[in-house]
Each structure stands twice: as structure tokens, then as C-alpha cells.
Chains A and B, each alone.
Chain A
């Protein structure tokens, strides 16, 4: 056993980190939230060039995957840099398309996903960024329906688009019409969605911890950095414990892909990220409560990811063997 990322896996994550740091993701997120998708699509394209989407797609369809450990490592970085867009949903869509009995749709669509030209999201029932994606794949019980952007109407006017507490996320409900695909939704798609959500949440939590550690080291009150107070230190230490024990669950789940492990990782990573968010907000004080402070980009995402792709209660049920993964 060697339960550590390989050098190649670490290098891949480090290269994404460097690229995303240079890209200055906070301004990309703010544009995305304001409805200007161009910077986000440009970043998306660079992520595709770096090989991100190929990780979710089998070789038959011009990918290199699926590679769950690499996906988990990448999604930690995506969360750390709060990259906008239906990232988890892209991974789920790849598994859904590749899992169909009819290879036609996968052959037609997945190469575009790998190259970054096609942005596809999944509705189950809400579709993240259904107003920004080119395609929406909707799970309706045992059926899958594909609708394209043209059928969904122009951005921001699509029926049923709702704002999230995370301004970078908009949820849409499916419209009628489109193409009914032959075959049933592959359960692996939900496993992958949960796994990558957990990894993304872990990254969000790690960024919240890092930013808060930096802040309390600079912010002075009573003549000393507030980070020298035990009341501050101990909250950050607790946040770190939560995140560092969620991390091996996320990567362990990526290794086994056992739905119980994946559900455990989802609970632990989302709770640790949310706890880190609460601590980050408290320790930043009033500035942290403003939309202007970039911290808000991570704070709100930590809340949104907690209930995306399986609420804490649903995931705990899976851990206890009280029910499988939700199908819709």
C-alpha cells in the first residue's frame, strides 16, 4: 500500500494550481456571476487544454479516463480557486453519456467536451448553470433527455432559472422538448458527482483556512496580530483538523469508488468546508460579511456544495446502508 498521491499526480495538481493562480479566478467568478460568461469560458478552455475534462472521458471518446484519483486531485484545486461553472456536472455528464447502451451520443458529444468547446450540465432535477451551458442532460427517473441551448432560450431569460446563495451558481429546471436518449442513467455518474463535489468542497475549505490564517496574521487589535490570541488560534486548529481528516476520505473514496466511501467523503468534506466557512467569517469580522471581500466567493460556495449531489442526511443514509444514491 502506498496511500499517497504519486509525483505525477502531485505535479498535475500543482500545474493546475499555478495556472489558476495566474488566471486570477476571483475576477472571473465575479464576471460569471454578473452574466458575463466570456472570461469563464476562456478559463474553461484552458482547463480543457490542461487535460481536465479528458480525465472523465474514456479513451474510446478521445479522453484518458476515467481517472478518479486525478479527478479528485484536480477538483481540490478547482475548489481552492473557486472556479465557476458546472464542473461536477461535466464529470457526471461524461459518465452518463459514456454509460449509455447506445454509443451514438457519446461519440457525437464527448470529443467536444474533452476539447472544452462544449459545456454540458446535468439536471437532476436542477441543472447548475443551465443558462450558461451549451447542452443540458436531464435525468428523469430511468430516462435521459438532452436539450441544447438554442431550445432553452437566450441567457438569463430561460424559464425557471433561479439564483443561488452562491452568486456564481444559477439553477435551472428542464424545459420540455429535446432528444430522448436510449439507455438508462449509469449509477456511476452519481458516484462521480458526489466524489468531485466532495473534492471541490475540500478545496474550498482549504482556501478558506489559508485566507483566514493570512488575515489574522495581518490584522492587529490591542497592538498585536489577532492570530496570536488562543480564542482565534483554536478555532483555526479545529478547522484544520476537520479538513485534514476529510482529505484522506476524499482520496480513499477516489481509490475505491465504493458508494459508502464516497458518501462518507461527501459528508466529511462538506461539513469541514462549511465549518471552515463559519470560522473564516467569524475571524474576518464585518469585512468578511461583505460581498466586496473576495472571501465571499468561497463562503457562499461552501454552503451551496453541502446540499448539492446528496444532502448530509442522504449521504449519512448511504453510510448506514439505509438507502442507495438518489436517482433524481
Chain B
């Protein structure tokens, strides 16, 4: 048992740090949930990609550096420590790309991944529907067979980034007559600007259009944009759900950097005693999350799959993120309510954490039933 990095990992860290020091914008970019900010973040993705830093863990053929999980963690630590911008491409990079690596064809990977790596195409997710939230398998949007492809009809909602994104991926019911609701679903990619698609942006709490409703009316999708077998979309989608909750969506680097900033804020404000325990807990929690992730990465590199433990992860980081930002806003005193502080965007963003990627209630059910072995019951 050790916590040592290899000399190669150390030099990779130094290389990443040097590049970030030189390139990270001195002034924070506008919120990526605005048209102006979205464009600025897209340009930042291109800048990262130009020097091979946008998707370090992907094979070089698709725009990455082929580094392993440990080096990806190192990169993320450096990325957030440098105060680099949020990743507007994260839905594609963290959810769709792993699905393509696991279930896509080589043709799909070659066609989709390079433009994702450069930010030229930004992806939104299309899972939830008005009547299918936590009970995702209740979804009703359908894919009907047509010559050379499928016609999509229905309504998707809470589609993050869809207000400004280019394409989307999600699940559609391709067979309405199956014994169980999670059967007969197909995983498809589609163009948000295709005929028949209407995107209605939804303003989140602070008014920014962070997500959208999608209305689909006979939207044509060619066969080449089906991932995996038609009818087997549930299994394909669940492999990305694990990613969303687990190792790769929220890297420890993000929280280590935020906890460090909080600690500095607390000191700048004279170390008020009423926030002392919460600041200490933010530091402790960031370290715990880092070490938990190192252990999970070690198991993964040993060949163990990431299973329902990812629900523990999601519960931890989502509650942690809110507590950290609440502490920061409290420390700001009368400025805590202002929408233009270094903490306001992160605070609003954190509030969604316990809701998306499977609500925390669903995660607690998974922990209780699949990790602790408690009996199933009515929810």
C-alpha cells in the first residue's frame, strides 16, 4: 500500500502544470450557461485540444494522449489547481465517449470522437422525460423504424447544455410491446438542428438557460447513429450511468482546489470561529475523496470493474459540493448573495448535484439494496 507517484507521473504532472500556467485565462470566462460563455468555453476546448490536453485519457488516434487513469487524475488535479475553466464538453467526454469506447463501432468512434475532442461538436444528454425521471425506464419517446434509419418522436427534458449544444444522445422506445419497461429501448445520437427538433431552453434558478426541453417530431436518425443493438439500449446506457456517478465525472482535483480556495477565503476573513469546523470539514472531505478515488483507481487498474460503489461516490460529492459552497457564501457575509462572486456560479451549479445523474434517493436505494443487501421494498 503506497501513495507514491512514478517519475513518469511526476514529469507528466510538471508538463501539464507548465502548459496550464501558460494558457489558463487570467480572467475567468463568462458562465458557460450563457451564449457568450458557451462560445468562450468552446474556444477554450479548442485551445486545450490543439496541444493535446482536452481528452488526455483517450487514444492518440481520437485526439488524446492514451494516458492511464492515474495520470488522468494527476491531470485533473493540476487542471483545477490552476483555476482552469469548467468543461463545456463534459457530457460528451464523460458520458457518450465511454459508451462509444464500450459499445460503439470503430466507424462511430472515428466519426464522433475527434470533433468532440476539439469542441467543434458539443453534446447534450437526452435522458429524462416529463413522466420519466428517477423511473427512467418509464420513458415514452419513441424510435420508429424507417428506411435506412429511425424516426424519433416525443419529448425530452432537463437536457443539460442543450440550449447551445450541437448534438444529443439518449434512449428511445423502439419496441412498445415488451414484458418489462427497460426492454425495447434503443440508444441513439441525433442532431439538435435536424428538421423536426425544437429546443426550448429552460432557465435554472439564477435565470441562465442551463438546460432545455427537446420536442421531437419525426426526426430522422440514420442507422449509423444507433449505439449497440437496437432494443438493448438500457444496458448500453447503464454503462454510462456508472461513469456519471462514479470515477470520472467529478475528479478529486476539483474539490481539492475548491477546498483550498475556501481555506484561503476563511483566513482572509480573519478565521471566523463559527465557520471553522465547516472549513476543516471541507479540507477533510476533499482529502477523503482524493484517497477514496486513488483506492478505486487502484482496484480498477487491478482489473476490478466499477460497480454500485459509484453510488457512494455520487452521494458524497454531491452533498459535499453544496456544503463547501454554502460555507463560502456564509463567509462572504453581505456579499454572499451577489451573483458575480467567485463562488456564486459554483453554488448554483452545486444545488443540482443531488438531483441529476440519478437522485440521491435513488442512490441511497442502490447502496442499501446492492451494497448492504437490504430487501427490496416499495419506494
**Chain A residues within CB distance 8 Å of chain B:** 1-6, 9, 69, 209, 213, 216-217, 224-225, 227-230, 232-234, 236-238, 240-241, 244-249, 251-252, 254-256, 261, 264, 267-268, 312-313, 316-317, 319-320, 322
Contacts and interface: CB of A to CB of B under 8 A. Distances in A.
A66 B21 CA distance: 41
Contacts of B377: 224, 228-230, 233
A69 B3 CA distance: 12
A1 B377 CA distance: 41
B263 interface: yes
Contacts of B102: none
Contacts of A229: 377
Interface stretch (B144-152, B178-186, B206-214, B363-371): B363-371
B284 A319 contact: yes
B3 A1 contact: yes
B317 to A, nearest CB: 10
Given A267-B280, A319-B283, A2 B368 contact: no
Interface string B264-278: 000000010000110
Given A1-B2, A4-B299, A236 B374 contact: yes
A2 B69 CA distance: 12
Contacts of B6: 1
Given A3-B2, A234-B368, A241-B367, A228 B375 contact: yes
B1 interface: yes
Contacts of B132: none
A270 to B, nearest CB: 12
Contacts of B263: 320
A198 to B, nearest CB: 12
Contacts of A224: 375, 377
A232 B312 CA distance: 17
B229 interface: no
Interface in B334-379: 361, 363-365, 367-369, 371-379
B379 A217 contact: no
Contacts of B371: 240
> Lowest 6 CB-CB distances: which A-B pairs, in order?
A228-B377, A233-B368, A248-B291, A316-B280, A237-B367, A237-B364
Interface size class of B (residues with CB under 8 A): 35 or more
Given A1-B2, A2-B2, A230-B377, A236 B284 contact: no
B166 to A, nearest CB: 37
B1 A69 contact: yes
Nearest to A313: B277
Nearest to A213: B372
Contacts of A248: 288, 291-292, 294-295
Contacts of A316: 276-277, 280-281, 284
Given A1-B5, A241-B315, A267-B280, A234 B287 contact: no
A73 to B, nearest CB: 9
Contacts of A232: 374
Contacts of B12: none
A85 B340 CA distance: 56
Contacts of B234: none
Contact of B291 (A3, A240, A312): A3
Nearest to B373: A213
A3 B368 contact: no
Given A1-B298, A3-B1, A233-B372, 9 more contacts: A2-B1, A69-B1, A233-B369, A240-B312, A248-B292, A248-B294, A251-B1, A256-B3, A268-B288
Contacts of A254: 1
A230 B373 CA distance: 13
A252 B374 contact: no
**Which of B1, B289, B371 is packed against the most chain A CB atoms within 10 Å?**
B1
A228 B4 CA distance: 43
Contacts of A225: 374-375
Contact of B276 (A9, A245, A320): A320
B372 A264 contact: no
**Which of A213, A224, A240, A322 is packed against the most chain B CB atoms within 10 Å?**
A240
B161 to A, nearest CB: 29
B302 interface: yes
